[in-house]
Copies of this chain bind each other. A is one copy, B any other.
Amino acid sequence: MTAKSMILLTIISEAMLEAILADEIMQLGAKGYTVTDARGRGTHGVRRGNWTAGGNVRFDVVGDAELCARIVARLKEVYERDYGLLMYTSPVELQN
């Protein structure tokens, strides 16, 4: 196998930030990202996802450690204070 060790960064945030976060992620050098609709609960309360302003999105980005650190640093700086945001990373083997 030609599997390469990479980092998977998962970001959960407010649905209305989708376009903004997608731009940030690409500008910081990601080769791509995947988005899924989500809902949930956290320190900002319940987000039922039953109306436009009330849902979350989940971004998954596969990249090298530096890219992920850059994205994490940028989102922490700009969005963490004011928006619901959760970010976590884990090692993955890219298979293609």
User: Chain A binding site: helix, strand, loop or mixed by DSSP?
Assistant: strand
- A80 in the interface (beta carbon within 8 A): yes
Asked if A72 and B34 sit within 8 Å, CB to CB, the answer is no
Q: A76-B95, A88-B94 are in contact. List 7 more A-B contacts (CB 8 A).
A: A9-B95, A34-B86, A37-B37, A72-B95, A88-B93, A90-B91, A90-B93
Sample (20) of A-B pairs whose CB atoms are under 8 Å apart: A1-B69, A1-B72, A10-B92, A12-B34, A26-B41, A31-B43, A32-B42, A34-B56, A34-B58, A35-B39, A36-B38, A36-B39, A62-B88, A72-B95, A86-B96, A87-B95, A88-B95, A89-B92, A89-B93, A90-B93
